[in-house]
Amino acid sequence: SDKRENLTYPLFGQAIRELAQTVADDGYEPDIILSIARGGVFVAGGLAYALDCKNIHLVNVEFYTGVGTTLEMPVMLAPVPNAIDFSNKKVLIVDDVADTGKTLKLVHDFCLDHVAEVRSAVIYQKSHSLVDCEYVWKRTDEWINFPWSVEPPVVRREGQILDA
């Protein structure tokens, strides 16, 4: 359909507080927040403050090998988190959306081998997702516009003085 789920920055602020409250009410106290770049970094930063967790890690996951060429499965790009840092830790994986759920499943399966406990938090989850995250702010099947990616990258303008 043409309908869009529109997340604005003000609504994002509300989503973060409510998502964090859900985690806290559940009694889960993560030692590590593991964000999935790039969209998950916004969510992870907000949750890290709201949950008072100072230990944030990041993984890069790639779905594309080139222009228009998609891998069948996403892959984690180096550098991957150090297994020693993760051993016996409670991890909260954070992303913007579980859509197919393939990205989250990849990171979740990676963590299962290394950590004490792992759970996932997302702002949105779609009904066809192959993972069911413990913490979901809102369920939708629409295409989501996120505030950080709804606009194209900025273009450098001519005539700017770049040297001091």
Nearer to ligand 5GP, 57 or 102 (CB): 102
Closest approach, Cβ 137 to ligand 5GP, in A, equals 14
Nearer to ligand 5GP, 6 or 82 (CB): 6
Nearer to ligand 5GP, 9 or 143 (CB): 143
- First and final CA of the chain: distance in angstroms? 50
Alpha carbon distance 51, 64 (integer Å): 33
Closest approach, Cβ 88 to ligand 5GP, in A, equals 28
Closest approach, Cβ 151 to ligand 5GP, in A, equals 12
Alpha carbon distance 104, 110 (integer Å): 10
Nearer to ligand 5GP, 21 or 70 (CB): 70
Nearer to ligand 5GP, 99 or 156 (CB): 99
- Burial of 161 per CB tally in 10 Å (0-12, 13-18, 19+): exposed
- Burial of 45 per CB tally in 10 Å (0-12, 13-18, 19+): middle
Residues that bind ligand 5GP (CB under 6 A): 39, 74, 95-103, 143-144, 146, 149
Closest approach, Cβ 81 to ligand 5GP, in A, equals 18
Alpha carbon distance 88, 85 (integer Å): 9
